[in-house]
Amino acid sequence: RAWRAAAPALATWATALGAAALGDGAVLTAPDFPAALLPAAGAALVFCLALTALDGGVRATADGLPLHTAWRGLLGRALAPHLVHGLAGLMMGVLWRGAHGPAAALLVLLPMYLSCWVFAQYHHERAAHQATIRALVQAVDIKDSYTRGHSERVGRASVLIARELGMAGDRLDVVRFAGILHDVGKLGVPTRVLRKDGPLTPEERRIIELHPEYGHEMIRGIGFLGEARDAVLHHHERVDGSGYPYGLRGEEIPECARVVAVADAFDAMTSTRSYSRARPVSTALAELERCAGSQFDPRMVAALVRALAHHGWQTAVTADEPGPQVPAPRAPGPLAARTEEPA
Protein backbone atom coordinates (compact mmCIF):
# COMPACT_ATOMS: atom_id res chain seq x y z
CA ARG A 1 0.00 0.00 0.00
CA ALA A 2 2.86 2.38 0.79
CA TRP A 3 4.37 1.62 -2.62
CA ARG A 4 1.09 2.11 -4.49
CA ALA A 5 0.62 5.48 -2.79
CA ALA A 6 4.22 6.62 -3.21
CA ALA A 7 4.66 5.69 -6.89
CA PRO A 8 1.94 7.99 -8.33
CA ALA A 9 2.92 10.73 -5.90
CA LEU A 10 6.54 10.62 -7.11
CA ALA A 11 5.37 10.43 -10.73
CA THR A 12 3.09 13.45 -10.23
CA TRP A 13 5.95 15.44 -8.68
CA ALA A 14 8.18 14.60 -11.66
CA THR A 15 5.31 15.56 -13.98
CA ALA A 16 4.97 18.99 -12.40
CA LEU A 17 8.69 19.61 -12.85
CA GLY A 18 8.48 18.52 -16.49
CA ALA A 19 5.47 20.73 -17.22
CA ALA A 20 7.13 23.72 -15.56
CA ALA A 21 10.24 23.19 -17.67
CA LEU A 22 8.21 23.10 -20.89
CA GLY A 23 5.81 25.99 -20.26
CA ASP A 24 5.89 29.27 -18.34
CA GLY A 25 3.61 29.99 -15.40
CA ALA A 26 1.05 31.83 -17.54
CA VAL A 27 0.49 28.75 -19.68
CA LEU A 28 0.17 26.52 -16.64
CA THR A 29 -2.22 28.71 -14.66
CA ALA A 30 -4.27 30.03 -17.61
CA PRO A 31 -4.13 27.34 -20.30
CA ASP A 32 -4.66 28.55 -23.84
CA PHE A 33 -5.10 26.22 -26.78
CA PRO A 34 -2.90 25.25 -28.57
CA ALA A 35 -0.11 26.81 -26.50
CA ALA A 36 -0.77 24.40 -23.64
CA LEU A 37 -0.44 21.30 -25.82
CA LEU A 38 3.35 21.06 -25.51
CA PRO A 39 3.57 21.25 -21.69
CA ALA A 40 0.51 18.98 -21.36
CA ALA A 41 1.98 16.34 -23.68
CA GLY A 42 5.35 16.66 -21.98
CA ALA A 43 3.71 16.29 -18.58
CA ALA A 44 1.91 13.10 -19.68
CA LEU A 45 5.14 11.68 -21.12
CA VAL A 46 7.09 12.45 -17.94
CA PHE A 47 4.34 10.85 -15.85
CA CYS A 48 4.51 7.67 -17.95
CA LEU A 49 8.31 7.59 -17.86
CA ALA A 50 8.34 8.01 -14.09
CA LEU A 51 5.77 5.27 -13.55
CA THR A 52 7.64 2.97 -15.93
CA ALA A 53 10.93 3.54 -14.10
CA LEU A 54 9.33 2.97 -10.70
CA ASP A 55 7.25 -0.07 -11.67
CA GLY A 56 10.11 -1.66 -13.57
CA GLY A 57 12.48 -1.00 -10.69
CA VAL A 58 10.24 -2.68 -8.13
CA ARG A 59 9.65 -5.65 -10.45
CA ALA A 60 13.38 -6.07 -10.97
CA THR A 61 13.96 -5.90 -7.21
CA ALA A 62 11.12 -8.18 -6.15
CA ASP A 63 11.32 -10.78 -8.94
CA GLY A 64 15.04 -10.68 -9.66
CA LEU A 65 14.47 -9.74 -13.31
CA PRO A 66 17.05 -7.89 -15.41
CA LEU A 67 16.09 -4.22 -15.72
CA HIS A 68 15.56 -4.38 -19.49
CA THR A 69 13.17 -7.31 -19.00
CA ALA A 70 11.33 -5.63 -16.12
CA TRP A 71 10.85 -2.41 -18.11
CA ARG A 72 9.96 -4.01 -21.43
CA GLY A 73 6.47 -3.05 -22.61
CA LEU A 74 5.56 -0.89 -19.58
CA LEU A 75 5.96 2.47 -21.32
CA GLY A 76 3.93 1.48 -24.36
CA ARG A 77 1.03 0.25 -22.22
CA ALA A 78 1.06 3.42 -20.09
CA LEU A 79 1.31 6.02 -22.86
CA ALA A 80 -2.03 5.60 -24.60
CA PRO A 81 -4.37 5.84 -21.56
CA HIS A 82 -2.43 8.65 -19.88
CA LEU A 83 -2.16 10.71 -23.06
CA VAL A 84 -5.91 10.33 -23.62
CA HIS A 85 -6.79 11.27 -20.05
CA GLY A 86 -4.27 14.11 -20.05
CA LEU A 87 -5.82 15.52 -23.22
CA ALA A 88 -9.27 15.24 -21.63
CA GLY A 89 -8.07 17.21 -18.61
CA LEU A 90 -6.56 19.87 -20.85
CA MET A 91 -9.83 20.14 -22.80
CA MET A 92 -11.73 20.70 -19.56
CA GLY A 93 -9.35 23.47 -18.53
CA VAL A 94 -9.53 25.25 -21.89
CA LEU A 95 -13.32 24.96 -22.22
CA TRP A 96 -13.89 26.03 -18.60
CA ARG A 97 -12.07 29.32 -19.30
CA GLY A 98 -14.13 29.87 -22.47
CA ALA A 99 -17.82 30.50 -22.99
CA HIS A 100 -18.92 27.19 -21.48
CA GLY A 101 -17.72 27.73 -17.91
CA PRO A 102 -18.49 24.92 -15.45
CA ALA A 103 -20.61 23.19 -18.11
CA ALA A 104 -17.27 22.19 -19.65
CA ALA A 105 -17.06 19.52 -16.98
CA LEU A 106 -20.08 17.76 -18.52
CA LEU A 107 -18.65 18.03 -22.03
CA VAL A 108 -15.49 16.23 -20.90
CA LEU A 109 -16.73 13.92 -18.16
CA LEU A 110 -19.41 12.29 -20.31
CA PRO A 111 -16.87 10.94 -22.83
CA MET A 112 -14.66 9.98 -19.88
CA TYR A 113 -17.55 8.05 -18.36
CA LEU A 114 -18.11 6.23 -21.66
CA SER A 115 -14.42 5.42 -21.78
CA CYS A 116 -14.55 3.97 -18.26
CA TRP A 117 -17.65 1.95 -19.18
CA VAL A 118 -15.88 0.45 -22.22
CA PHE A 119 -12.87 -0.35 -20.03
CA ALA A 120 -15.11 -2.06 -17.47
CA GLN A 121 -16.77 -4.09 -20.24
CA TYR A 122 -13.34 -5.20 -21.40
CA HIS A 123 -12.52 -6.43 -17.90
CA HIS A 124 -15.86 -8.23 -17.62
CA GLU A 125 -15.17 -9.95 -20.93
CA ARG A 126 -11.68 -10.88 -19.76
CA ALA A 127 -13.11 -12.33 -16.55
CA ALA A 128 -15.54 -14.40 -18.63
CA HIS A 129 -12.61 -15.68 -20.70
CA GLN A 130 -10.78 -16.71 -17.54
CA ALA A 131 -13.89 -18.47 -16.24
CA THR A 132 -14.20 -20.39 -19.52
CA ILE A 133 -10.60 -21.56 -19.28
CA ARG A 134 -10.95 -22.53 -15.61
CA ALA A 135 -14.03 -24.60 -16.43
CA LEU A 136 -12.20 -26.48 -19.18
CA VAL A 137 -9.18 -27.14 -16.98
CA GLN A 138 -11.35 -28.32 -14.09
CA ALA A 139 -13.10 -30.73 -16.42
CA VAL A 140 -9.73 -32.21 -17.45
CA ASP A 141 -8.59 -32.43 -13.83
CA ILE A 142 -11.77 -34.27 -12.84
CA LYS A 143 -11.38 -36.73 -15.69
CA ASP A 144 -7.64 -37.32 -15.22
CA SER A 145 -7.00 -36.91 -11.49
CA TYR A 146 -3.45 -38.30 -11.83
CA THR A 147 -2.36 -35.06 -13.49
CA ARG A 148 -4.35 -32.64 -11.31
CA GLY A 149 -2.61 -29.27 -11.17
CA HIS A 150 -0.39 -30.16 -14.13
CA SER A 151 -2.10 -27.69 -16.48
CA GLU A 152 -1.66 -24.71 -14.15
CA ARG A 153 2.01 -25.54 -13.59
CA VAL A 154 2.64 -25.91 -17.32
CA GLY A 155 1.05 -22.49 -17.79
CA ARG A 156 3.35 -21.03 -15.14
CA ALA A 157 6.47 -22.66 -16.60
CA SER A 158 5.47 -21.51 -20.09
CA VAL A 159 5.26 -17.90 -18.87
CA LEU A 160 8.71 -18.18 -17.27
CA ILE A 161 10.15 -19.33 -20.59
CA ALA A 162 8.26 -16.68 -22.57
CA ARG A 163 9.51 -13.87 -20.34
CA GLU A 164 13.10 -15.01 -20.82
CA LEU A 165 12.50 -14.91 -24.57
CA GLY A 166 11.34 -11.28 -24.31
CA MET A 167 7.61 -11.82 -24.73
CA ALA A 168 5.36 -9.39 -22.86
CA GLY A 169 1.80 -8.14 -22.54
CA ASP A 170 -0.89 -9.97 -24.48
CA ARG A 171 1.65 -12.46 -25.85
CA LEU A 172 2.36 -13.66 -22.30
CA ASP A 173 -1.36 -14.19 -21.75
CA VAL A 174 -1.57 -16.27 -24.92
CA VAL A 175 1.37 -18.43 -23.82
CA ARG A 176 -0.19 -18.92 -20.40
CA PHE A 177 -3.53 -19.91 -21.96
CA ALA A 178 -1.69 -22.35 -24.22
CA GLY A 179 0.07 -23.97 -21.28
CA ILE A 180 -3.08 -24.23 -19.22
CA LEU A 181 -5.18 -25.66 -22.05
CA HIS A 182 -2.60 -27.90 -23.73
CA ASP A 183 -4.27 -31.09 -22.45
CA VAL A 184 -7.91 -30.07 -22.88
CA GLY A 185 -8.21 -32.68 -25.64
CA LYS A 186 -8.04 -35.38 -22.98
CA LEU A 187 -11.74 -34.74 -22.51
CA GLY A 188 -12.17 -36.71 -25.74
CA VAL A 189 -10.03 -39.66 -24.60
CA PRO A 190 -11.74 -42.59 -22.80
CA THR A 191 -11.21 -42.42 -19.03
CA ARG A 192 -10.13 -46.07 -18.88
CA VAL A 193 -7.21 -45.22 -21.18
CA LEU A 194 -6.20 -42.09 -19.25
CA ARG A 195 -6.23 -43.88 -15.88
CA LYS A 196 -4.63 -47.14 -16.99
CA ASP A 197 -1.73 -47.99 -14.67
CA GLY A 198 0.07 -50.42 -16.94
CA PRO A 199 1.62 -50.02 -20.39
CA LEU A 200 -0.64 -48.88 -23.20
CA THR A 201 -1.38 -51.08 -26.17
CA PRO A 202 -0.53 -49.67 -29.63
CA GLU A 203 -4.22 -48.91 -30.17
CA GLU A 204 -4.52 -47.12 -26.82
CA ARG A 205 -1.42 -45.08 -27.61
CA ARG A 206 -2.94 -44.04 -30.94
CA ILE A 207 -6.04 -42.91 -29.05
CA ILE A 208 -3.92 -40.88 -26.60
CA GLU A 209 -2.05 -39.28 -29.48
CA LEU A 210 -5.33 -37.88 -30.82
CA HIS A 211 -5.76 -35.56 -27.82
CA PRO A 212 -3.99 -32.55 -29.43
CA GLU A 213 -6.44 -32.68 -32.34
CA TYR A 214 -9.41 -33.12 -30.00
CA GLY A 215 -8.22 -30.11 -28.00
CA HIS A 216 -7.81 -27.96 -31.09
CA GLU A 217 -11.34 -28.82 -32.24
CA MET A 218 -12.75 -27.94 -28.81
CA ILE A 219 -11.22 -24.47 -28.61
CA ARG A 220 -10.85 -23.35 -32.23
CA GLY A 221 -14.02 -21.25 -31.98
CA ILE A 222 -12.71 -19.27 -28.96
CA GLY A 223 -11.33 -16.22 -30.73
CA PHE A 224 -9.39 -14.64 -27.85
CA LEU A 225 -7.03 -17.64 -27.58
CA GLY A 226 -5.23 -16.68 -30.79
CA GLU A 227 -2.08 -18.72 -31.39
CA ALA A 228 -2.71 -20.70 -28.19
CA ARG A 229 -4.90 -22.90 -30.37
CA ASP A 230 -1.87 -23.82 -32.52
CA ALA A 231 0.11 -24.62 -29.37
CA VAL A 232 -2.62 -27.01 -28.20
CA LEU A 233 -2.49 -28.75 -31.57
CA HIS A 234 1.30 -28.95 -31.92
CA HIS A 235 2.73 -29.25 -28.38
CA HIS A 236 3.76 -32.88 -29.02
CA GLU A 237 5.65 -32.14 -32.23
CA ARG A 238 9.45 -32.59 -32.05
CA VAL A 239 12.06 -30.45 -33.72
CA ASP A 240 13.48 -33.51 -35.50
CA GLY A 241 10.09 -34.23 -37.08
CA SER A 242 9.31 -37.43 -35.15
CA GLY A 243 6.44 -35.99 -33.10
CA TYR A 244 2.71 -35.95 -33.64
CA PRO A 245 0.10 -35.23 -34.93
CA TYR A 246 1.68 -33.91 -38.17
CA GLY A 247 5.40 -34.58 -37.85
CA LEU A 248 6.39 -30.91 -38.12
CA ARG A 249 10.05 -30.08 -37.61
CA GLY A 250 12.11 -27.11 -36.47
CA GLU A 251 10.69 -23.69 -37.27
CA GLU A 252 7.60 -25.29 -38.80
CA ILE A 253 6.38 -25.83 -35.23
CA PRO A 254 4.72 -22.65 -33.88
CA GLU A 255 6.88 -20.85 -31.32
CA CYS A 256 4.18 -21.03 -28.66
CA ALA A 257 3.97 -24.82 -29.12
CA ARG A 258 7.74 -25.17 -28.69
CA VAL A 259 7.50 -23.25 -25.41
CA VAL A 260 4.68 -25.43 -24.09
CA ALA A 261 6.44 -28.65 -25.14
CA VAL A 262 9.39 -27.86 -22.87
CA ALA A 263 7.19 -26.71 -19.98
CA ASP A 264 5.00 -29.82 -20.32
CA ALA A 265 7.91 -32.26 -20.27
CA PHE A 266 9.61 -30.43 -17.39
CA ASP A 267 6.55 -30.56 -15.14
CA ALA A 268 5.87 -34.19 -16.06
CA MET A 269 9.38 -35.16 -14.97
CA THR A 270 9.32 -33.17 -11.73
CA SER A 271 5.86 -34.27 -10.53
CA THR A 272 5.10 -37.42 -8.53
CA ARG A 273 2.23 -39.46 -9.90
CA SER A 274 0.71 -42.84 -9.32
CA TYR A 275 2.85 -44.36 -12.05
CA SER A 276 6.16 -42.50 -11.65
CA ARG A 277 8.20 -40.70 -9.02
CA ALA A 278 9.33 -37.12 -9.39
CA ARG A 279 12.86 -36.42 -10.50
CA PRO A 280 14.94 -33.58 -9.05
CA VAL A 281 14.77 -30.32 -10.97
CA SER A 282 18.46 -30.57 -11.87
CA THR A 283 17.93 -34.06 -13.34
CA ALA A 284 14.93 -32.91 -15.34
CA LEU A 285 16.86 -29.93 -16.73
CA ALA A 286 19.79 -32.16 -17.65
CA GLU A 287 17.38 -34.45 -19.51
CA LEU A 288 15.84 -31.51 -21.37
CA GLU A 289 19.30 -30.29 -22.35
CA ARG A 290 20.20 -33.78 -23.56
CA CYS A 291 17.10 -33.85 -25.78
CA ALA A 292 17.53 -30.26 -27.01
CA GLY A 293 17.94 -30.21 -30.77
CA SER A 294 16.19 -33.54 -31.29
CA GLN A 295 12.98 -33.33 -29.29
CA PHE A 296 12.99 -29.76 -27.94
CA ASP A 297 13.98 -26.36 -29.26
CA PRO A 298 17.37 -25.57 -27.62
CA ARG A 299 16.39 -21.89 -27.27
CA MET A 300 13.34 -22.79 -25.17
CA VAL A 301 15.33 -25.19 -22.99
CA ALA A 302 18.01 -22.55 -22.37
CA ALA A 303 15.31 -20.00 -21.47
CA LEU A 304 13.79 -22.37 -18.91
CA VAL A 305 17.21 -23.02 -17.35
CA ARG A 306 17.82 -19.27 -16.99
CA ALA A 307 14.32 -18.64 -15.62
CA LEU A 308 14.62 -21.35 -12.95
CA ALA A 309 18.03 -19.98 -11.94
CA HIS A 310 16.23 -16.70 -11.13
CA HIS A 311 12.91 -17.98 -9.75
CA GLY A 312 13.36 -21.61 -8.69
CA TRP A 313 10.58 -24.19 -8.93
CA GLN A 314 8.32 -25.91 -6.43
CA THR A 315 7.62 -29.50 -7.38
CA ALA A 316 4.23 -31.02 -6.61
CA VAL A 317 2.48 -34.33 -6.04
CA THR A 318 -0.35 -34.57 -8.54
CA ALA A 319 -1.92 -37.91 -7.65
CA ASP A 320 -4.83 -37.63 -5.23
CA GLU A 321 -4.42 -41.17 -3.97
CA PRO A 322 -1.28 -43.22 -3.40
CA GLY A 323 -2.12 -46.01 -5.87
CA PRO A 324 0.38 -48.61 -6.99
CA GLN A 325 3.84 -47.33 -7.81
CA VAL A 326 4.27 -48.69 -11.31
CA PRO A 327 7.59 -47.73 -12.86
CA ALA A 328 7.20 -45.70 -16.02
CA PRO A 329 8.30 -47.83 -18.96
CA ARG A 330 10.60 -46.05 -21.35
CA ALA A 331 9.34 -45.49 -24.81
CA PRO A 332 11.85 -45.71 -27.65
CA GLY A 333 13.89 -42.56 -27.99
CA PRO A 334 14.70 -39.85 -25.43
CA LEU A 335 13.66 -40.41 -21.84
CA ALA A 336 11.85 -37.08 -21.83
CA ALA A 337 9.72 -38.21 -24.74
CA ARG A 338 7.17 -39.64 -22.31
CA THR A 339 5.46 -36.70 -20.67
CA GLU A 340 2.09 -36.81 -19.02
CA GLU A 341 0.53 -39.89 -20.64
CA PRO A 342 0.67 -43.20 -18.71
CA ALA A 343 2.67 -45.54 -20.89
Whole-structure pTM value? 0.65
Among residues 82, 104, 93, the alpha carbon closest in space to that of 18 is found at 82
Q: In angstroms, how far is CA 320 from the centroid of its own chain?
A: 27
309 burial type by CB count under 10 A (0-12 exposed, 13-18 middle, 19+ buried): exposed
Phi, psi (degrees; rounded to nearest 5) at 199: -65, 150
The residues annotated with a catalytic role in the active site are 186
324 burial type by CB count under 10 A (0-12 exposed, 13-18 middle, 19+ buried): exposed
CB 211 within 8 A of CB 188: yes
Spans of all domains in the chain: 2-98, 129-337
In the prediction, which pLDDT does 262 show? 97
- 243-258 pLDDT, tens digit per residue, is 999 999 999 999 999 9
For residue 42, the SS3 value is helix
Helix or strand run (H / E) with residue 253: none
CB 189 within 8 A of CB 208: yes
Mark the ranges of the chain whose per-residue pLDDT is less than 70: 23-33, 145-147, 273-276, 315-343
Give me the CATH topology for the region 129-337: Hypothetical protein af1432 (1.10.3210)
Angle at 87 between CA 85 and CA 91, to 5 degrees: 115
